[in-house]
Amino acid sequence: MSQRNQWNFKTLFELLLISTKLGFTSFGGPVAHLGYFHQEYVRKRKWMDEKSYADLVALAQFLPGPASSQVGIGIGVVRAGVIGGIVSFIGFTLPSVIALILFALLLQSFDIGDAGWIHGLKIVAVVVVAHAILGMAKNLTPDVKRKTIALLALMGTLLWQTAFTQVGVILVAALIGFILYKDHQEVDVAKMTFPISKRFATICLTLFFGLLIVLPIFREVTAVGWVAMFDSFYRAGSLVFGGGHVVLPLLEREFVPTGWVSEEAFLAGYGAAQAVPGPLFTFAAYLGAVMNGWQGGLLATVAIFLPAFLLILGALPFWDALRRHDQVRGALMGVNAAVVGILISAFYQPIFISSILSPVDFAFAALLFTMLVYYKMPPWIIVVTGALGGALMAFL
pTM of the model: 0.69
The 10s digit of each residue's pLDDT in 190-202 is: 555 678 888 999 9
Note the pLDDT of residue 146.
94
The 10s digit of each residue's pLDDT in 242-263 is: 556 667 767 887 888 888 888 7
Rounded to the nearest 10 degrees, what angle do helices 283-315 and 50-62 cross at?
A: 110
How many other C-beta atoms lie within 10 A of the C-beta of residue 257? Answer: 12
Note the pLDDT of residue 4.
46
3-state secondary structure of 241: coil
3-state secondary structure of 63: coil
Q: Cα dihedral angle (264, 302, 34, 7), rounded to 10 degrees?
A: 150
**Which positions of the chain have pLDDT values less than 50?**
1-7
